Amino acid sequence: MSAPDFTRPDFTRQEMMAIATGREIRDGELAIFGVGLSMLAGYFAQAHHAPNVRAMTEGGVYGATPVGGLPWGIECNRLSVNATSFTSALDALGFLVASGRCDVGIIGAAQVDRFGNVNTTGIWDGEIGESYRPPKTRLPGAGGANDIACGAKRTVIMVTHEPKRFAEKVTYISSPGYLEGANARERYGFPGGGPAAIVTTLGILRPHVETKEFQLDSWFSFSSVEEIRANTGWDLKVAPDAHVVPEPTQAELAALRRVDQTGALRKKG
Amino acid sequence: MSAPDFTRPDFTRQEMMAIATGREIRDGELAIFGVGLSMLAGYFAQAHHAPNVRAMTEGGVYGATPVGGLPWGIECNRLSVNATSFTSALDALGFLVASGRCDVGIIGAAQVDRFGNVNTTGIWDGEIGESYRPPKTRLPGAGGANDIACGAKRTVIMVTHEPKRFAEKVTYISSPGYLEGANARERYGFPGGGPAAIVTTLGILRPHVETKEFQLDSWFSFSSVEEIRANTGWDLKVAPDAHVVPEPTQAELAALRRVDQTGALRKKG
Amino acid sequence: MTHSKLIPLAEAVRRYTWDGMQYASGAALPIGSDAIVFGRELLRQGRRDLHAVFHCSSQQLNLLAGAGAATKAECGFSALEVFGFANGLRRAVESGAMALEDYSNLAMPLRYLGGALNWPFVPATTNIGSDIQHRSAFAPHDTPARTKIPTVTDPFSGREIGAYSVLQPDLAAIHVTLADIRGNSIMLGTEWSRFELSRAAKKVVIIADAIVDSGCIRQFPNLVRIPDIIVEAVVHWPYAAWPQSSPGMYDVDEEHMHLMNKALATREGTDRYVADFVEGYDDPDSYLDLIGRDRLATLAKTETAFLLDPYRQWILSPDQVAGLSARGVAA
Amino acid sequence: MTHSKLIPLAEAVRRYTWDGMQYASGAALPIGSDAIVFGRELLRQGRRDLHAVFHCSSQQLNLLAGAGAATKAECGFSALEVFGFANGLRRAVESGAMALEDYSNLAMPLRYLGGALNWPFVPATTNIGSDIQHRSAFAPHDTPARTKIPTVTDPFSGREIGAYSVLQPDLAAIHVTLADIRGNSIMLGTEWSRFELSRAAKKVVIIADAIVDSGCIRQFPNLVRIPDIIVEAVVHWPYAAWPQSSPGMYDVDEEHMHLMNKALATREGTDRYVADFVEGYDDPDSYLDLIGRDRLATLAKTETAFLLDPYRQWILSPDQVAGLSARGVAA
């Protein structure tokens, strides 16, 4: 990828997360971006190193690049303004993603666990129990992330690194990671391979090749192994070759900020 | 309907068949017309007594009326010229017909049997046998007629009345009528009710309410019970209230000929 | 053939809705074009106990849930994207006032597709293996099977996959950009699942931002994805998706999106919102006054406005539309 | 992002086809717009043993079957509507040279839909109960199950329905009215099943009557039902569906429809037809000369020509197109 920039430009943790996520996207790939920060990460990749990425949103909006800053949603006029094709959710999420054609999807998470399972549905006080009962805190639901998690060849999960978000086991699996680990996904015949990385505000976690347990792959220059372990709700293993992530280059930051015109990623950090 | 026209205008058997078929269509119905003569019958109904018929073709061509004579096909420019909507086969045959929404469909037949089963696939010399073997004469295949026969609330079968076309049992069921009769259709859960009439160049056959065996309902003024029985390949029963069909009115003939601008129905008869 | 199906919004709600019905809308993304004004009218007429079927919640379901009119809902996504959680819906779910059955954003259009085809079930290759598959917010006797997404065996491979129940809502209120008086409809921007929904629903009412002459329909038949033959009625209501956006027509009203969602976070705020923005107008004109003509002019200056250019010549003026209402039409 | 995918027809056939492949085309009705010129080129390059997947046969499959290039086919309808039986296909089927597997006109798009979704099977509520369900022209080991359309049990009701195998052809050659150099495609007239096929096929090559500037694509994104991201290559070939029609562009050539079908009725006639109308040209220009410029002018005077009006300003001239071929592009 790019060499670290020793001029140490000022950037936020969210910007680092978006850039690290964007680095996961390769040129020419068929890619689907969720709403919000994951969309910024994806279109950053397009603006920086993946000009031929075949990007779409789950609304069936193709060929668009956001204009005027972070789109409010996946059909937002900021995205609709220069699309080359509008179709439908069935097309984008079904024909192109659940089918197994899509190379990579970026999804968010309210909570993620040791095996990359994602909860975006609700927070319960304790177990849900045999029968369903209302959550203490209702979250947005699965959206297209479940379909992306099942169908995309690989996914990248983007999430703020806080202990409450990194659970040993999520209460509710909205979007499957590796379920109970190892080859548990095979039971369901998903065409997608599962999450390749969890990119956080502190670093990057990747699954162990066999157990599929997520372990620390790398940390950001402003973070550390200790800080990450302290903010993870399970006993996080550290990969033998764990390393520091190169800081954003000037070119990367410039590209990201062209996409993030309204500074959504600079508001907190 | 209309009173018989005692001026006895000159008309062909095919025109009588088309008009008798068109009389089966009621105003406001959702209706699907196959290609060729059945399309002329349908659009005749629209031109004459069913101005609000909601007509479509299996191509997903809506709101059109043919211009310049018999369309060559269901997407023919003669039909595409004034459509209000173009969608797809999945929409027309699936969402609107196989679903059970469509009120009436008009289909053709190379061969039809005692229970209204239609063969448009092939003529074999003898039984097909256990394994499939090539037909002696290959016919066009089922097209959309199978889907119409399964899904439309009722169908009208239009067919030239010749002994070879009226078989005790068709060799190959391309589109199901009442199968072996009575409630045999129920085995398959078809939303459609089956054929309401077989309209021929000689008269009209309708199914017995219980056995679903087709019997003679009415004959055209130029035909007779004897002629029809002689041209039917099974021992055709005659309904107790069998009667003569009113001849075309001047208005009906005028409407039909406006639709059949190229005189397709006048070429033989 | 030239019968007009144009009717007033209030009449559409009176005629096609009832307490306890299965009502579908919210048909174009969480914050995209949606027949929100239809939901406002449902509240004005006091409809209750609605079973809401929304691919995504949108501000419409947020409002219906927050005001207590929806007691059941099925969604693929139930928040407001970058505008955050849907506070009215959230309050209803957390309090137990509304049972929310979760699916995904692919599951919902597939269930519409299955409803449109009148299939008994739809194959599911996603949603299985997650808690969406078996956890049901509805009482078990409310679903056709004992489990929400049961399995079905593929006869070719012997492999098990999931099976969705299908959706055939009593009514779909679908927002479109342009329609003619018979209901031929053009959507600009993604269809999301409006095409499938229009075929799945037992009845369809179109809510159009603008009415066009049928010449527009005949010029662009490939854009007419909802043909008149499946439409019961057409309601003309400018800015019907407000405060959400309608590509080509107007942008999202960011300020009102926040104001509305903040209000719906509490019972009191909701009451105030209903008094102000649900009961606060009598017809399209006073609705537009309520929003504010200046604000509307700003929203209409969307960068997507060029998308509407090819069709502008056919858009009818309010006076022309008034002359074409279902009763007044003669042509 | 501005890479051109425009390549010559001969190169498209060389690059994306091979003997024995599963080849899909014939994508818009029995006698509607179809990439017939692609089929001609398959013959020119001597492709053999094709497994043809055609929703409806069209003159393309009639030709491929009549000339002996297709040994297997799957169709919903295999004749030429008012032009009569497809004589080439008929001869191939009756002689046993081509095994023709019968489905219906709904079954084919559903099987494309299932392929597009990568489902293991598709629910079948039609075709069951008729001889289509169990009689198979293919050897049993050619189908994934022992029977052509087996049954599957609905887990909700316990009721049995049918299950179609899905289609994922190696290549779909799809005829469209307009495309840009990247493959964004606009179809005028019914899609028939071109939308579903474009998603089911492993690869898609677009055959366009005309090439448009990308400004047209950005003005009408809702008409772009096949986006560039799923297109491998674009072939520009005027009158590519001849002698069939292309709504907005040209009418059916009635005389040649009859001439062609009559020729295909015999081996000798087919040889003559191939010599004259398959081998008889070298490029689009000599193809148009062969048809006859006067005849083309007549065909172009279609009453549907107004359907093309909104897009004419963006249609590129032959010279402009030549400058944009995949290798020549710089922009």
Residue whose C-alpha is closest to residue C63's, from C299, C240, C278, C207? C278
pLDDT at site C2 = 60
CB contact under 8 A, D154 and C121: yes
CB D290: neighbour CB atoms within 10 A?
12
- C-alpha A16: how far from chain center: 13
Q: Name the pLDDT band for C330 (thresholds 50, 70, 90).
A: very low
CB contact under 8 A, C123 and D122: yes
What span, in angstroms and rounded, lies between the C-alpha atoms of C162 and D119? Answer: 11
Residue in A closest to D1 by C-alpha: A52
The chain-wide mean pLDDT, for chain D, equals: 94
pLDDT at site C329 = 43
Residue range C141-161: average pLDDT? 85
Distance between first and last Cα of chain B: 24
CB contact under 8 A, C193 and A88: yes
Eight-state DSSP code of residue A93: I
| Contacting partners of chain B (3+ CB pairs under 8 A) | C, D
Using an 8 Å Cβ cutoff, are A137 and A123 in contact? yes
Using an 8 Å Cβ cutoff, are D317 and D238 in contact? no
What span, in angstroms and rounded, lies between the C-alpha atoms of B109 and B120? Answer: 6
Angstrom CA distances, A95 to A33, A58, A90, A100, C187, stand at 16, 11, 7, 8, 21
> What residues form DSSP beta bridges with C151?
C162
User: Where do the structural domains in chain C lie, given as residue ranges?
Assistant: 9-102+168-322, 120-164
Count the alpha carbons within 13 Å of A267 in the hemisphere toward its beta carbon: 8
Residue range B205-214: average pLDDT? 98
Distance between first and last Cα of chain D: 10
pLDDT at site C143 = 60
Q: Name the pLDDT band for D3 (thresholds 50, 70, 90).
A: confident
Residue range B252-263: average pLDDT? 93
pLDDT at site B1 = 41
Residue range D250-273: average pLDDT? 97
For chain B, the maximum distance between any two Cα atoms, rounded to a whole number of angstroms, is 57
| Contacting partners of chain A (3+ CB pairs under 8 A) | C, D
Catalytic residue, candidates A15, A29, A58, A252:
A58
Residue range D229-244: average pLDDT? 98
Using an 8 Å Cβ cutoff, are D233 and D206 in contact? yes
User: DSSP E strands: which ranges in B124-184?
Assistant: 137-138, 154-159, 166-167
Residue in A closest to D223 by C-alpha: A85
Q: pLDDT by residue (tens digit) across D212-221?
A: 999 999 999 9
Using an 8 Å Cβ cutoff, are B205 and B197 in contact? yes
Backbone CA torsion sign across D35, D36, D39, D41 = negative
Using an 8 Å Cβ cutoff, are A203 and A239 in contact? no
Angle at C79 between CA C78 and CA C80, to 5 degrees: 140
Q: Which of A30, A98, A100 sits opposite D229 (nearest CB)?
A: A30
ipTM of the complex: 0.96
Compute the nearest-CA separation of B259 from chain C (Å).
Answer: 17
Reply yes or no on whether the pLDDT at D145 is more than 80: no
The chain-wide mean pLDDT, for chain C, equals: 94
Cβ density class A224-251: b for 16+ within 10 Å, e for less = ebeebeebbbbebbeeeebeebbbbbee
Q: Name the pLDDT band for B9 (thresholds 50, 70, 90).
A: low
Residue range D254-263: average pLDDT? 97
Q: pLDDT by residue (tens digit) across A190-218?
A: 999 999 999 999 999 999 999 999 999 99
What span, in angstroms and rounded, lies between the C-alpha atoms of D322 and D328? Answer: 8
Reply yes or no on whether the pLDDT at D249 is more than 70: yes
> Which residue positions in chain A have pLDDT lower than 70?
1-9, 268-269
Reply yes or no on whether the pLDDT at C203 is more than 50: yes
Task: Find which of C122, C199, C203, C223 to mutate to test the B interface (most B CBs within 10 Å of its CB).
Answer: C199
pLDDT at site A3 = 46
Q: Name the pLDDT band for C331 (thresholds 50, 70, 90).
A: very low
Q: Which domains does chain B have, with CATH numbers?
A: 13-266 (3.40.1080.10)
Q: pLDDT by residue (tens digit) across B149-208?
A: 999 999 999 999 999 999 999 999 999 999 999 999 999 999 999 999 999 999 999 999
Count the alpha carbons within 13 Å of D150 in the hemisphere toward its beta carbon: 18
pLDDT at site C142 = 59
User: DSSP E strands: which ranges in chain B?
Assistant: 30-33, 54-57, 61-62, 85-86, 104-108, 111-113, 118-119, 122-123, 137-138, 154-159, 166-167, 195-200, 203-207, 214-219, 238-244
Backbone CA torsion sign across B253, B254, B258, B262 = positive
pLDDT at site C6 = 97
- Which CATH architecture is the domain C9-102+168-322 placed in? 3-Layer(aba) Sandwich (3.40)
Phi, psi (5° rounding) for residue D171?
A: -145, 140
Residue whose C-alpha is closest to residue B190's, from C200, D162, D125? D125
Is A63 an interface residue toward D (CB < 8 Å)?
yes
Q: For every residue of chain C, which 3-state class applies, written as one string?
A: CCCCCECCHHHHHHHHCCCCCEEEECCCCCCCCCCHHHHHHHHHCCCCCEEEEEEECHHHHHHHHHCCCEEEEEEEECECHHHCECHHHHHHHHHCCCEEEECCCCHHHHHHHHHHHCCCCEEECCCCCCHHHHCCCCCHHHCCCCCCCCEEECCCCCCEEEEECCCCCCEEEEEEEEECCCCCEECCCCCECHHHHHHHCCEEEEEEEEEECHHHHHHCHHHEEECHHHCCEEEECCCCCCCCCECCCECCCHHHHHHHHHHCCCHHHHHHHHHHHCCCCCCHHHHHHHHCHHHHHHHHCCHHHHHHHHHHHHECCHHHHHCCCCCCCCC
Q: pLDDT by residue (tens digit) across B13-37?
A: 999 999 999 999 999 999 999 888 8
Angle at A159 between CA A157 and CA A162, to 5 degrees: 140
Residue range C180-190: average pLDDT? 97
Q: Name the pLDDT band for D272 (thresholds 50, 70, 90).
A: very high
List, as ranges, residues 193-252 from B with C-beta within 8 Å of D.
none
Q: Name the pLDDT band for D326 (thresholds 50, 70, 90).
A: low
Residue whose C-alpha is closest to residue B37's, from B23, B18, B58, B65? B18
pLDDT at site D26 = 85
Is B87 an interface residue toward D (CB < 8 Å)?
yes
Phi, psi (5° rounding) for residue A198?
A: -110, 115
Evaluate the omega torsion of the peptide bond into residue A134 and state whether it is cis, within 30 degrees of 0. no
Q: Which of C114, C155, C165 sits opposite D152 (nearest CB)?
A: C155
Q: Please indicate whether chains B and A are in contact, defined as at least 3 beta carbon pairs under 8 Å.
A: no
Return the structure tokens found at B51. Answer: 């101005």
More confident residue, A247 or C330: A247
pLDDT at site D75 = 96
B58 is catalytic: yes
pLDDT at site A244 = 98
Reply yes or no on whether the pLDDT at C327 is more than 80: no
Using an 8 Å Cβ cutoff, are D92 and D269 in contact? no
Residue range D3-18: average pLDDT? 96
Residue whose C-alpha is closest to residue D175's, from D296, D331, D58? D58
Using an 8 Å Cβ cutoff, are A33 and A106 in contact? yes
Using an 8 Å Cβ cutoff, are D212 and D236 in contact? no
Q: Give percent of chain D with pLDDT exceeding 90.
A: 89
Residue in D closest to C121 by C-alpha: D154
Is B7 an interface residue toward C (CB < 8 Å)?
no
Catalytic residue, candidates B15, B24, B58, B247:
B58
pLDDT at site B78 = 87
What span, in angstroms and rounded, lies between the C-alpha atoms of D172 and D203? Answer: 6
Count the alpha carbons within 13 Å of D124 in the hemisphere toward its beta carbon: 31
What span, in angstroms and rounded, lies between the C-alpha atoms of D173 and B259? Answer: 36
Q: Name the pLDDT band for D204 (thresholds 50, 70, 90).
A: very high
pLDDT at site B132 = 79
Reply yes or no on whether the pLDDT at C161 is more than 50: yes
Q: Which of A84, A94, A99 sits opposite D221 (nearest CB)?
A: A84
Q: pLDDT by residue (tens digit) across B84-143?
A: 999 999 999 999 999 999 999 999 999 999 999 999 999 998 888 777 789 999 999 999
Residue whose C-alpha is closest to residue D232's, from D272, D201, D210? D201
pLDDT at site B6 = 46
Q: Name the pLDDT band for C326 (thresholds 50, 70, 90).
A: low
**Residue partners of B124: CB distance under 8 A and separation at least 6:** B133, B135, B136, B171, B172
Span of A80-94, B70-84, B240-254, C63-77 with lowest mean pLDDT: B70-84
Q: pLDDT by residue (tens digit) across C234-287?
A: 999 999 999 999 999 999 999 999 999 999 999 999 999 999 999 999 999 999
Reply yes or no on whether the pLDDT at C114 is more than 80: yes
Residue type, D155: P
Angstrom CA distances, B231 to B204, B223, B224, B247, D236, stand at 13, 11, 11, 21, 54
